[in-house]
A and B are shown apart, each in its own frame.
Chain A
Amino acid sequence: MNDHPAVEQRLGLVRWLTGHRHGIEGYLYICHRISGIVLLLFLSLHVLVTSSRLFGEETWQTLMSLTHSPALKFLEYLVFVAFAFHATNGVRLILIELGFAVGKAEHPVYPYRGSLHKQRPLMIVLMVVAAVLIVLGGFDALRLGR
């Protein structure tokens, strides 16, 4: 029963966490979801914190001085990491959804070449971009930060 596609889809969390058997792209999918949730949670908090500028300079300075602690600096960096990954992987997903980098339709001649293999160079390029951004962000936070 369980191998019926409709039933399998409802395995929910298990399918979520096992990379969908699609290899690295499956794990990118999980990371995309997690980073999206992180960004949304941060955005909610961010809206509330930045609203405090309405109460004037003193309140703002007090709140900002809290963010100088190493723990909060690290969390802030994690938000940047989530952004760098989510944005670059998101651009990859959009390009593929629009039909770019998926290759032309071919006759199914053995040995078959899956579409995922044609998409892989795009994935590698964009993950390198993500890694560069993440390193730059870390360098900024550690070396050049206030």
Chain B
Amino acid sequence: MHCGWAGNVTDNKIKYWALNVFCALVLAVLLGAHMGLMHLPGLLGQINPAWKDPLAWAHVSERGRSAAITGGYVLLLGLALFHGLYGVHTMFTEFFSGERAARRIAAGCWIAGIALFVIGAFSSVIFHISVPRT
């Protein structure tokens, strides 16, 4: 292998890049499952009738009751935000050069990422705690 994955990873940029690629790999699996279940209900519903209407309130609440699914959502959200904002960061740094711009771009990405993560993770966890268990 010709990239600095395993040994001599001292540069922060390489660490962030490796983390970004790792996020992409995990996303391919987790997001693949999520997209399949949410966007291919007609096809997957042929295999399991419970997958026919994933957006029905009954199914939304059922998923909300599961700690594993709630945890999975929070993980998926964190990975997608890190990966997506890393990409946006790359694009912006291609258009705007200089130390000051780099600091502002990084700060903007972190703020947007943390804000969205807090909103998404908070609503998933509170929903999990408060959804009726009957």
Contacts and interface: CB of A to CB of B under 8 A. Distances in A.
Contact of B64 (A53, A91, A145, A146): A53
Instruction: Give the interface SS of chain A, mostly helix, strand, loop or mixed.
Output: helix
B28 A40 contact: no
A40 B87 contact: yes
A83 B53 contact: no
Interface residues of A, number: 42
Interface size class of B (residues with CB under 8 A): 35 or more
B67 interface: no
B39 interface: yes
Contacts of B91: 33
21 contacts: A12-B95, A13-B95, A36-B87, A37-B87, A40-B85, A43-B80, A43-B81, A47-B119, A47-B120, A48-B119, A53-B60, A57-B57, A67-B55, A83-B31, A91-B28, A97-B3, A137-B40, A139-B42, A140-B40, A140-B43, A144-B45
